[in-house]
Chains A and B, each alone.
Chain A
Amino acid sequence: MGSESKDLLHGTLDLLVLRALAGEPMHGFALSKWIDRRTNGDLGIVDSALYKALNRLEDAGAVHAEWGISENNRRAKYYSLTGKGRKQLRHQVASWKHYVAMVNGLLEPG
């Protein structure tokens, strides 16, 4: 896999994770379930990739991780967006929409 397509993939995954966390803080399981529900499981992202994205975003300061207690009383790591993460989400959503509109324009007949 070339580094460009890898960057694109990472970028898309980061965008999904940021969007999922835009609401309330959630742990990894809830995150994967959220994406599954919104895409009917069609995206086929393995969960380990989601965790790697979470780690990457945490190291970049876009996501804050904190240990808490889950619904069934187990120790779980909760992820939430930082200010920087919200900014990154806005920026990435805008550029994604721009990209999609551009590609759509290219695919229009005529």
Chain B
Amino acid sequence: MRKSSSILPRGVRRLLRLPATRQRLVQDADDEIRLHLDLWTQEFRSQGMSDADAEAAALRRFGDVREYHDHAARRAERKTRWQRVADWFVEWPHDVRFALRHFAKAPAFTAIAVLTLALGIGANTAIFSVVHGLLIAPLPYPNGDRIVALKTAGRIGVIGGLASLMSNAPADPPSELLQAWATRTHSFAQVAGVEQVYLSLLANGQQDTVSHALATANLLDLLGARPSYGRMFRPEEEKRGANHVAMISHRWWESAYGGRDDVLGTALEYEGEKYTIVGVMPVGFTIPMSARALDELSLTSPDVWLPAPVEETSIGFGLLRPGVTSAIATKELNDIANSADMRASLFPGPRAAAADSIRARAMRAQDFLGARELRTIEVLFAAVGALLLIACTNVANLLLVRAWARRREFAVRMGLGAGRARLIRLAVTESVLLAVASGAIGVVIAWKGL
């Protein structure tokens, strides 16, 4: 009964099949109904009906032809919409291969375009990394955006018995002021202190000069960081002489102890006393927001950490309570610093009343940048932005020249039946490939450059 044209195998026939356009699907449905009505008309005629009666009967038993046509049209629309998406998935690897072939045929053009873009992207990535590090996410810790350094504007010193505030740069407060802040403020969930010392000690059996620092037990907790190995100090170990414990930097753990597990429990000797290593600091851990101070003193980040109570430290950090801004915290720090009893203890002697008022600040990491540095960053950012713009313009020009040279090719393609949409897609694919390759090389350039 069935005489299907199955000369060619199914896969091959699919290749030769015309694309299923919406109009064609609707036409197919109409043809199918036409045949159906003709066959029923014939059937009724063979039962002895007149031509007109047979046709009417066939139409009657079919139902609403118009309605079915609309149904078929909606179905065709639905099917072809998905078909277009499906076609795209089938065709894009072809577009990519085609574009790659084209690039391979013009290696000089490709190299120049990719390198131009890559340099522009690389420069931007590098500068953005700096901006990101300085302004957007300066503290790489979970609590980073809530951490402030507790500073005074100018160092509070005592010169010849006379209290004075020298210069205006951020300075570490005297230990007693930091202690007052730590105990009396309400803006902070926690206050931690660090003190940097530079002494020699006997470690791992040999005399070694290592940078070391004192820290309160809650330092890592405040930052939201965890020791990379072992544990942090306990609060009761802060009391000097109570417990002789130490933590070491990750770097020093690897260089002096070979990263061995049994480092925990080994002893360091410092000023004739032994300290037991209880933990290893996180990788790359250093005193937060201290990069500039360390540069000035040409100190590296501390390798040995000993516990100390907050009153023995002067580099203070506060973890802002949720909802508290650095401005609110600054106000509270100032109120405490300039309270009568605090001034009396900071500026002893008869001239206390005459001394300037103390200006304290709760500083976020980005607040450490001066106006000049900010300006430099802005100018650099604008410059690399302009550079990228120039690079883009150049590449666009190159592409334009190439498109002009290829107009014969495009004409041939159109002559062979390629639609405008298809040609545009080829061009877009080429551009996207250029951009992706340039982006990848640009990231490598930025990475090597930093």
Contacts and interface: CB of A to CB of B under 8 A. Distances in A.
Contacts of B67: 48
Given A55-B75, A74-B35, A77-B28, A48 B1 contact: no
B2 A24 contact: yes
B71 interface: yes
A48 B35 contact: no
Given A33-B43, A76-B32, A48 B65 contact: yes
Interface stretch (A2-10, A63-71, A82-90, A94-102): A63-71
A75 B31 contact: yes
A49 interface: yes
B4 A47 contact: no
Contacts of B64: 46, 48
Give the interface residue-count category, chain B: 20 to 34
A78 B36 contact: no
Point out which of A28, A48, A51, A78 has the most chain B C-beta atoms below 10 A from its C-beta.
A48
Contacts of A47: 36, 40, 61-63
Interface residues of A, number: 28
A7 to B, nearest CB: 18
Contact of A32 (B28, B36, B79): B36
Interface string B177-198: 0000000000000000000000
Given A29-B35, A66-B4, A70-B35, A48 B68 contact: yes
A68 B5 contact: yes
B134 interface: no
Contacts of B28: 67, 77
Nearest to B40: A29
A52 interface: yes
Nearest to A46: B63
B32 A78 contact: no
Point out which of B33, B39, B64, B68 has the most chain A C-beta atoms below 10 A from its C-beta.
B39
Interface in A24-39: 24-30, 32-33
B3 interface: yes
A25 B4 CA distance: 11
B71 A52 contact: yes
Contacts of A51: 32-33, 36, 68
The 5 nearest A-B residue pairs measured at CB:
A46-B63, A68-B4, A48-B63, A29-B39, A48-B68
Interface of B: 1-5, 28, 31-33, 35-36, 38-40, 43, 61-65, 67-68, 71-72, 75, 79
13 contacts: A24-B2, A27-B32, A28-B32, A28-B35, A28-B36, A29-B40, A32-B36, A47-B63, A51-B33, A59-B79, A68-B2, A68-B5, A75-B31
Given A51-B33, A69-B5, 20 more contacts: A24-B2, A26-B1, A27-B35, A29-B40, A32-B36, A32-B40, A32-B61, A33-B43, A46-B62, A55-B72, A55-B75, A59-B79, A66-B4, A68-B2, A69-B3, A70-B3, A74-B35, A75-B31, A76-B35, A78-B4
Interface of A: 24-30, 32-33, 46-49, 51-52, 55, 59, 66-71, 74-78
